[in-house]
Amino acid sequence: MKLKLYYATNRGHQGNNQFNPVGYGIDPSKSGIENLRLGKVTLDVGEDLLSQCFKEETGSGNGDGVKLSEKLAKLAKKHASIVAFRESNPDKKSTKSTEDKKKLGSHEMRDEVLETMRKGHDVLFYVHGFNVSWWDAVGAAFALQEMLNRPLPVAKENKNVLVILYTWPSDGSAVPFVAYGSDRTDAIGSGFALGRAFLKLRDFLTEATKTSIKKGDEEKEQPEQCNQNFNLLCHSMGNYVLQNALQRIIERTEGRRLPRIFDHVFLCSPDVDDDVLEAGQPLGRLHELCRNVNVYFNRGDLALRGSDYTKGNPDRLGTNGVANPNQVHKKIYQMDCSGDLVQGVLEHGYYLKGSINADIRMSLDNIPQEEPSRFRESLDRYPNTFRMKPM
């Protein structure tokens, strides 16, 4: 079967042809860290590879997306095809006609994504974290897309998910201190680029709700109904990228309220401060962008404990959950994934596994947070807080 993944990146391309690169590197684009290249990756894989990983037993139930991610990253590095959309008409003498505008990469990708959405797909933007190479990011995004679309009794029929990867210049190196600090710096500029992209999405959504129809000699705008949603999932330091993206959105939004762009936002193993969602803090207005915010944390996450102790950061949201549950907006929900659900002390990508991944899918299907069929139990001592259970 052929897998297809759309992406946006501010990484510098590798190879002689920027529109047909062999990959992307660890450095920002030479056009600037806020410059985005759009494209798609295609890869042929055997269905047995997917089904095997879907059946793999983990501490949280069937489905090992981490193993699938590793396998797909290796396959993609050897066999994937990358095509970057052209950002301008190569004929510099051409005028800016409607025909030329259609050739812009952003328009071409938009039209392809819209066509997929019309077939019943929701969109999930995915932002990876620290120490992730281009091919590892591609593998993780492919795995996330396939895990969310795997056959599940809890999934609604004909409700599929299209993942769009946002990959930023993460070092892909585990050199202590150096790589982490470099990634934090790159995450700031990358967040500004992501914020610009979300503002363009806001403008697109505004226009998409209008269509001109002609009645007699008059043209009137009528709303165009769409039943599909945009969602966002950020993993690890990808949440710090989001933190900077939100700052850019706030700076460039008029009025007292931010635009609602997303249906669901998922903060998975977030490598940000544990008070970041409180009013007045960097992500304190995140809830304005969406219908709800879902935080997945694990008290045994040693990767984030390393961020606490070796990098001098305050307690991490992905380790402890929200510092003061009573001081965050009621649209924010927490899922405690601690304990036997997470196998191995270095497990950091558990959002790709078993019941935790299935829980994300159930949110995308708009199953109520308190629904008994979910793989979680409510913790009465804290508002909107649940303990995850295996499938």
> What's the whole-number mean pLDDT along residues 141-162?
87
Q: Find out whether 269 and 349 touch, Cβ atoms under 8 Å.
A: yes
pLDDT at 342 over 90: no
Cα(259)–Cα(141) distance, integer angstroms? 26
Greater confidence (28 vs 89) lies with: 28
> What's the whole-number mean pLDDT along residues 66-74?
97
Helix (H) or strand (E) holding 66: helix 65-79
Cα(288)–Cα(329) distance, integer angstroms? 10
pLDDT at 345 over 90: no
pLDDT of amino acid 225: 52
> What's the whole-number mean pLDDT along residues 364-385?
90
Cα(362)–Cα(375) distance, integer angstroms? 10
Q: Which amino acid is at 77?
A: K
pLDDT of amino acid 203: 83
pLDDT at 369 over 70: yes
Q: Please name every residue paired with 122 in a beta bridge, in sequence order, or none if there are none.
A: 161
CB atoms within 10 A of CB 376: 22
pLDDT of amino acid 205: 76
Domains for the chain: give ranges and CATH numbers: 122-209+224-388 (3.40.50)
> Confidence class of residue 186 from pLDDT cuts 50, 70 and 90?
confident
pLDDT at 72 over 90: yes
> What's the whole-number mean pLDDT along residues 330-353?
87
Cα(215)–Cα(196) distance, integer angstroms? 37
Beta strands in 76-135 (DSSP E): 81-84, 121-127
Q: Which residues contact 253 (CB under 8 A, 6 or more apart)?
A: 199, 259
- Helix (H, G, I), strand (E, B), or coil: what is residue 175? coil
Top-ranked range on mean pLDDT: pick from 11-20, 184-193, 277-286: 277-286
Range 252-256, long-range pairs (CB < 8 A, 24+ positions) = 252/195, 252/199, 253/199
> Confidence class of residue 215 from pLDDT cuts 50, 70 and 90?
very low
pLDDT at 381 over 90: no
> What's the whole-number mean pLDDT along residues 335-341?
91
Tens of pLDDT, residues 25-44:
988 888 888 889 999 999 99
Tens of pLDDT, residues 240-290:
999 999 999 999 998 889 989 999 999 999 999 999 999 999 999 999 999
DSSP letter string, 200-261: HHHHHHHHHT-EEEEETTEEEEE-------EEEEEETTHHHHHHHHHHHHHHT--SSS----
pLDDT of amino acid 51: 96
* pTM score, whole prediction: 0.90
> What's the whole-number mean pLDDT along residues 137-145?
98
> What's the whole-number mean pLDDT along residues 331-336?
96
Phi, psi of 369, deg, nearest 5: -60, -35
pLDDT of amino acid 104: 64
Tens of pLDDT, residues 289-313:
999 999 999 988 877 765 555 556 6
Cα(31)–Cα(212) distance, integer angstroms? 37
Greater confidence (151 vs 53) lies with: 53
Greater confidence (102 vs 2) lies with: 2
pLDDT of amino acid 360: 96
pLDDT at 100 over 60: no
> Confidence class of residue 171 from pLDDT cuts 50, 70 and 90?
confident
pLDDT of amino acid 131: 86
> Confidence class of residue 95 from pLDDT cuts 50, 70 and 90?
very low
DSSP letter string, 337-390: --STTS-STT---GGGBHHHHHHHHHHHTT--TT-TTSSEEE-TTSTTEEEE--
Q: Look up residue 372 and give its two tokens.
A: 């008994």
